[in-house]
Amino acid sequence: MVELKNELERRDQQQRGQNLTYQSLGRFDQQVTTKPHRDGGPDQSILMLGYEPTTVQCRISIADYAKCAFDMELTPAEFLEQYNPMFPDGFNRLSDYSVELTDFDHTAFQILIINNSITPIGDDRLVGVLHTATIVNPDPDQSRVVNSTMIACNAESPLGTDDEQHFIDTQIIRREKYEL
């Protein structure tokens, strides 16, 4: 994941003259279903998730809330404020803009890069999507490890090289106990 981030940054510097910086690095065991959400972060950000093999089956879906907002003549931020997808009205408005990632394989190592931005469509900005995970068979005796990095475009990083090395070396895995 670190090597992929570095290559993405190299290409982004060449093509758009932008730097990519870590905003967060962590590992957790996620066995609760989430509703469509973005993971906070700067307005232009990328969420890179590295999934480790597990017996805990999961379905991942993506919702193009920026396009939904655009079609409703709203900005993505206005859409989230007026139609929070954590509630039925907002969730239902995204149904025509959502797709399940059918190639996701919970039994293999996988990296998923999600555009986590909240910027409006246009002007060569990153335009984000929401993501959700449906846990089909939670199992407290098994782990479903997700390695998570939040990466921002042209933002100061609160993290240093020690944090990156800790992310690479750590065996600490937080257990998620809440539901989004």
Per-residue pLDDT tens digits for 65-80: 999 999 999 999 999 9
Q: Say if pTM beats, i.e. exceeds, 0.75.
A: yes
Going by pLDDT thresholds of 50, 70 and 90, the confidence category of residue 176 is: low
Q: Is residue 106 part of a domain?
A: yes
Read out DSSP for 95-140? GGGEEE-TT--TTS-EEEEEE---PPS-TT-----EEEEEESS--T
Count up the domains in the chain and report the number: 1
Give domain status of residue 82, yes or no.
Answer: no
Per-residue pLDDT band for 175 (boundaries 50, 70, 90) equals: confident
Is residue 75 assigned to a domain? no
Q: Is 125 within a domain? A: yes
At 139 the pLDDT is: 93
pLDDT confidence of residue 180: 43
Q: Looking at the domain assignment, is residue 73 inside a domain?
A: no
Domain that holds residue 161: 21-63+100-175
Query: 111 in a domain, yes or no?
Result: yes
